[in-house]
Structure 1
Amino acid sequence: MDGTSNEHPRAKADGFPTILFFPGGNKSFDPITVDVDRTVVELYKFLKKHASIPFKLEKPATPEPVISTKKSDEKIEGDSGKDEL
């Protein structure tokens, strides 16, 4: 939630941005400040540790590699070889 627009009596931001986790199931819990690296792995570990309802995420399927049929010396139509910015 946007703390500048919404206020909650137990949600006290320590800095910007602050992520607070409210565990489910017990309304009397104070929020837990999420103080981990902002990576998928670290957030996943945090949620596994603190979530009231156990869960498991499956790794996404890796896309198949794209095989190019263009020879390295061929030019792509409209490619002048210069970068345009």
Structure 2
Amino acid sequence: MTEHVLARLRARDAEGLAELAAEGDGADEDAKRWLARWGDAAQRPATADFGPGEKDASVEVRFDGDRSTLSLLLMPEDQDDPYGDRYVVALHEDPVT
């Protein structure tokens, strides 16, 4: 999922990024906000640190030349199968740390 998010940011694909989001209102606007903040940074190499949780996973992404960290929260796509291997990203979370 992290690779898909970074690929959508790099491609400046707000629609594709919104499709990766957890269900809820505002995914399109959130995706546009993320692109406005991270679109330029995503054109550079990045490193990612993964922090797996019991069901959710967190990822801290650092882009070369950017002091801020993009924090991703990945959640199970199917709440009835929380230990499955398919995730969505929480775009409604604040993308800047």
TM range (shorter): under 0.3
The higher relative CO (CA closer than 8 Å, separation ≥ 6) is in 2
**Which structure shows the bigger proportion of residues in helix conformation?**
2
**Which structure shows the bigger proportion of residues in strand conformation?**
2
Task: Calculate the TM-score normalised by the size of structure 2.
Answer: 0.21
Task: Calculate the TM-score normalised by the size of structure 1.
Answer: 0.23
